[in-house]
Structure 1
Amino acid sequence: MKEQLIKWLNLVLVANVFFVLFSFFWLVVAVLGHSFKVNLGLDLWYKLWEPVFTPAIGILMGGAILSWAIGKINQLFFSPKSD
């Protein structure tokens, strides 16, 4: 059960990383387009910042902390001790 949870958490985090990277590259392209007076979705990106991208970044940070905590707990309590 614990391994399944970690597996799914890592899968969600990997997908979330790619989504956050996609949103960052979209921002870069949209800002470059805006500087050349080409509409590449900067206004849409701004509208999606609060409801979509901010929670995605928060989930990424929270998931990374949760993954670290699960690993530490496993290391402290469930790994075999070599005395």
Structure 2
Amino acid sequence: MSAPTEPLWKRWLDRLLMLNVLLVASGAVFFTVAVVAQSQGRDQAMDLFQQLWQPLFTPAISLLIMAALISGIVSWWQRRVQTADRGNGN
């Protein structure tokens, strides 16, 4: 048997979410660098980070949290349905 192929929309959604995780991780590294630079008296990196916070990082973090919650709920629901099917003898 061959493995079932996933729909095209799911592949693109997975790619988008992986890029989102990369963006959030890059933002965390950039924030760390900005904090270190600011502690040494260089404010440019923190100023740039603050300008990018609202339009870029806030939606990316929100999307990451929302995707994790939806994934967890769907996984929980699937396990619950499978457990109910086993209990019925199917």
What TM-score do you get using the length of structure 2 for normalisation?
0.69
Change (3 A) 1:11 1:71: farther
Deviations 1:1-23 (A, max 9, x none): xx546665554433322211110
Gaps of 5+ in 2: 1-5
Q: What RMSD, in angstroms, separates the aligned Cα atoms of the two structures?
A: 2.4
1:59 correspondence with 2:63: yes
Deviations 1:56-75 (A, max 9, x none): 11111100010011112222
Distance (whole Å) between structure 2 residues aligned to residue 8 and residue 74 of structure 1: 22
What TM-score do you get using the length of structure 1 for normalisation?
0.73
1:81 correspondence with 2:81: no
For CA contacts below 8 A with separation 6 or more, give which structure has more relative contact order. 1
Runs (4+) off by over 6 Å: none
Gaps of 5+ in 1: none
Give the structure with higher Rg (CA): 2
